[in-house]
Chains A and B, each alone.
Chain A
């Protein structure tokens, strides 16, 4: 579904991605993990066209992401922190995006609006909502137009345990229905629960890409958390290598 080859990105003099290669398969949850500033969010933003790669190619279903923006109609995005035009209410935002995507009311997936109990705040200006509430709006928005690919960046970070549980159930349900997820999170127990595959990013390169079982076998560890810690320790000892791709 997603194919990235030789992606480089610098912010000023700071290199963030250095020849990143990655394949994400359809109908699976792929977790992108790595230490802070390893390039996870930048990679998500390149997939959305929010950030331009300096070099390399990224294709989603055969479409280059830096060309025609119409491919984004098939993506749902939940950023790390929910940011909306402050004077609009959630209902305005839902309607605006439906309008821009040309999505009919009947085709929308409003399950999360109900299960995250957003009904009472739909007409409230977003600026007066709490951070957690905004993040719920954000989650509902990512799923609203039944996208084929969902990019969720630290999706449960600001959510309470009930909302977090609702969201995780939704991810599993939609994965089983054939949707593709790219998930970044620092909560490794959560990723262990949800992820089919893991891509480990370090210093802007993919140092491991494979299933959880393969990762555990490779590192000889029993949990994802320990396996990732092991990769990080190895990474600290090794200089950046040529990326390995599954």
Chain B
């Protein structure tokens, strides 16, 4: 399988990049501190969720955009071999998402195990948090690859990546809140639900929030989702939404990759 060979060498290259190691160590340190200060496992996991929904999109989209631009040498070298463009694209994407996800999963899991904090509820929350983190890595990896594939200029690409992060993590909840306030006299639940699905960060948050009665702490979108999607079907829909947020930008990026001149 050519693709597995490509993934292996891309990961070999990415892992030697110290950023990935630093990223894993950061999650290790933050989880450790939150577990020590938070008192209980579930509380620490919920605090960690706020770090995860801000930091994973930021690091993945910035690192991913830089990585994709920097992979040009690798692309030229591999495409002059008997390697199809589609195979290389998927190999590069896996080589971006897998090391970042592994660094996150290992970084968060080690302190939980070392501090023996994994009781029933914490374990359930931890698994959901890991799922949400990996899903966000895939979504923002796909967005990074799309931005880098469409914008040749590195700085411009990086600027757009930061803009997308800012809109999705910071500005979006403000917009949702404004819509809710402005139209509070109207039945807007359907619109609120649609707005939540239009943002992968909210969807990832919902994955965790729906399991616990903390939705009021997680912004207005969380409250709406708790009411309307607090069922297994709701969680499946959120996961489906996150998958769509990975696949659609990924397909556009693949199309750009097929048409590109190296």
A75 at interface by CB-CB < 8 Å: yes
Are A50 and B9 CB-contacts (below 8 A) given A87-B17, A100-B2? no
Q: Are the CB atoms of B80 and A77 closer together than 8 Å? A: yes
Q: Are the CB atoms of B5 and A100 closer together than 8 Å? A: yes
Q: Are the CB atoms of B262 and A51 closer together than 8 Å? A: yes
Q: Are the CB atoms of A52 and B261 closer together than 8 Å? A: yes
Are A100 and B81 CB-contacts (below 8 A) given A50-B76, A50-B262? yes
Contacts of A49 in B (CB 8 A): 79-80
B78 at interface by CB-CB < 8 Å: yes
Bound: A48/B14 CA distance, A = 26
Contacts of B85 in A (CB 8 A): 69
Q: Are the CB atoms of B81 and A85 closer together than 8 Å? A: no
Interface members, chain A 65-79 (any B CB < 8 Å): 69-73, 75, 77, 79
Are A69 and B74 CB-contacts (below 8 A) given A50-B261, A92-B9? no
Bound: A194/B12 CA distance, A = 39
Are A85 and B73 CB-contacts (below 8 A) given A71-B82, A101-B82? yes
Bound: A73/B81 CA distance, A = 6
Q: Are the CB atoms of A87 and B13 closer together than 8 Å? A: yes
Q: Are the CB atoms of B17 and A69 closer together than 8 Å? A: no
Bound: A70/B81 CA distance, A = 8
Q: Within the complex, what minimum Cβ distance (angstroms) separates B98 from chain A? A: 16
B248 at interface by CB-CB < 8 Å: no
B259 at interface by CB-CB < 8 Å: yes
Which of the four size classes fits the interface of chain A? 20 to 34
Q: Are the CB atoms of A99 and B83 closer together than 8 Å? A: no
The one of B13, B72, B80 that contacts A88, using a Cβ cutoff of 8 Å: B13
Closest residue to B262 on the A side, CB-wise?
A50
B16 at interface by CB-CB < 8 Å: yes
Closest residue to A84 on the B side, CB-wise?
B73
A45 at interface by CB-CB < 8 Å: yes
Q: Within the complex, what minimum Cβ distance (angstroms) separates A192 from chain B? A: 28
Q: Within the complex, what minimum Cβ distance (angstroms) separates B220 from chain A? A: 45
Q: Are the CB atoms of B262 and A45 closer together than 8 Å? A: yes
Count of residues in B whose CB is under 8 Å from the partner chain = 26
Q: Are the CB atoms of B12 and A88 closer together than 8 Å? A: yes
A96 at interface by CB-CB < 8 Å: yes
Q: Are the CB atoms of B77 and A87 closer together than 8 Å? A: no
B6 at interface by CB-CB < 8 Å: yes
Query: Quick one: CB contact mask for A158-176 with B, threshold 8 Å, 1 for yes?
Result: 0000000000000000000
Are A87 and B5 CB-contacts (below 8 A) given A48-B79, A50-B79? no
B84 at interface by CB-CB < 8 Å: yes
The one of A83, A87, A88 that contacts B76, using a Cβ cutoff of 8 Å: A83
Contacts of B83 in A (CB 8 A): 69, 72, 100
A93 at interface by CB-CB < 8 Å: yes
Q: Within the complex, what minimum Cβ distance (angstroms) separates B207 from chain A? A: 34
Q: Are the CB atoms of A70 and B17 closer together than 8 Å? A: no
Q: Are the CB atoms of A70 and B262 closer together than 8 Å? A: no
Q: Are the CB atoms of B259 and A69 closer together than 8 Å? A: no
Q: Within the complex, what minimum Cβ distance (angstroms) separates B219 from chain A? A: 40
The one of A11, A52, A96 that contacts B9, using a Cβ cutoff of 8 Å: A96
Closest residue to B258 on the A side, CB-wise?
A52
Contacts of B14 in A (CB 8 A): 87
A157 at interface by CB-CB < 8 Å: no
Interface members, chain B 44-72 (any A CB < 8 Å): 71-72
Contacts of A51 in B (CB 8 A): 261-262
Closest residue to B79 on the A side, CB-wise?
A50
Are A11 and B80 CB-contacts (below 8 A) given A88-B12, A92-B12, A100-B6? no
Closest residue to B72 on the A side, CB-wise?
A83
Are A72 and B261 CB-contacts (below 8 A) given A84-B73, A96-B9? no
Q: Are the CB atoms of B73 and A48 closer together than 8 Å? A: no
8 contacts between A and B (CB under 8 A): A11-B261, A69-B83, A72-B82, A83-B76, A87-B12, A96-B5, A97-B77, A100-B81
Residues of chain A touching chain B, judged by Cβ–Cβ distance below 8 Å, are 11, 45, 48-52, 69-73, 75, 77, 79, 83-88, 92-93, 96-97, 99-101
Other A-B contacts than A49-B79, A92-B9, 20 sampled, CB-CB below 8 A, are: A49-B80, A50-B79, A51-B262, A69-B83, A69-B84, A73-B82, A79-B76, A83-B72, A83-B73, A83-B77, A84-B74, A85-B9, A85-B73, A87-B14, A88-B9, A88-B13, A96-B9, A97-B81, A100-B5, A100-B81
